[in-house]
Structure 1
Amino acid sequence: MCRLEDLRVGQGAVALVHGQSVAVFRTSREEVHAVGNHDPFLHTQSVSRGIVGARDGVPFVGSARHGHAFDLVTGRCLDDEHAALPAYPVRIVDGRVLVGPRRVDLSA
């Protein structure tokens, strides 16, 4: 997909993964996460432009427009239990970021 060094800490990047628009984030803890880029509240491909942070130790991306935060590991919305983003497993191999197929179980 891309090199780890190409991802800026705290900012999102967009990639086409398995035919889906995916937002990829590198956190200040040097973790890389991938979630769907489609914002279920705005109905736009804009999650990658969100603000990265942590709430009670949970890494999240938050929309600057509506304030909803999404867990970067599970995709679950931290503010509305009825909303979620698809989440994708990420591996770093030889400095390259590899995004796997969409997780079916949102608990991990």
Structure 2
Amino acid sequence: MRRGANLALAALLGAAASLLCSNAFAYCSEPSAPSCASSFGEFGDQWEFDRCKREMESYKDDVENFIGCNNDEAEAAIRKARDDSESAKSEYNDAVEAFNRRAGN
């Protein structure tokens, strides 16, 4: 049954590669850092500093949401790859059984 294990592994790797090359992460939008963070020179006044600080706090939240989204998408991709592998393995086993019946085994 080593051939079946190899087939299952090949199916898993193929499914994973397919998912990584697809738009599996299309729903996760990576945020951009606020331009105020990298502007040249010091802040002009307290208002400018406070505004940029709020933008940085919002950016932090956006980055955390992006990371969570990517993790969710990756977990979904892994689940799909496992399901696809199990399906391929089951189909292979069914074909082997059908072959063996035809062969009289």
Greater radius of gyration (CA): 2
Instruction: Looking at secondary structure, tell me which structure has more helix per residue.
Output: 2
Q: Which structure has the higher relative contact order (CA within 8 Å, separation 6+)?
A: 2
Q: TM-score, normalised by structure 2?
A: 0.19
Q: TM-score, normalised by structure 1?
A: 0.19
Instruction: Looking at secondary structure, tell me which structure has more strand per residue.
Output: 1
